[in-house]
Amino acid sequence: MSQLVYFSSSSENTQRFIERLGLPAVRIPLNERERIQVDEPYILIVPSYGGGGTAGAVPRQVIRFLNDEHNRALLRGVIASGNRNFGEAYGRAGDVIARKCGVPWLYRLNSWVRKAISKTFVKE
**Is the pLDDT assigned to residue 120 strictly greater than 60?**
no
User: Three-state SS for 86?
Assistant: helix
Q: Any idea which of 39-43, 46-50, 61-65, 79-83 has the lowest mean pLDDT?
A: 46-50
**Is the pLDDT assigned to residue 83 strictly greater than 50?**
yes
User: What are the sequence ranges of the domains in the chain?
Assistant: 3-121
Q: Is 28 exposed, middle or buried (0-12, 13-18, 19+ CB in 10 A)?
A: buried
**What is the predicted pLDDT for the residue at 72?**
98
* Separation between Cα atoms, residue 38 and residue 48, nearest integer Å: 22
**What is the predicted pLDDT for the residue at 110?**
75
3-121: which CATH architecture?
A: 3-Layer(aba) Sandwich (3.40)
46 vs 117, which has greater pLDDT?
46
Question: Are 104 and 69 a contacting pair, CB within 8 Å?
Answer: no
**What is the predicted pLDDT for the residue at 46?**
92
26 vs 56, which has greater pLDDT?
26
pLDDT level of residue 122 (50, 70, 90 thresholds): very low
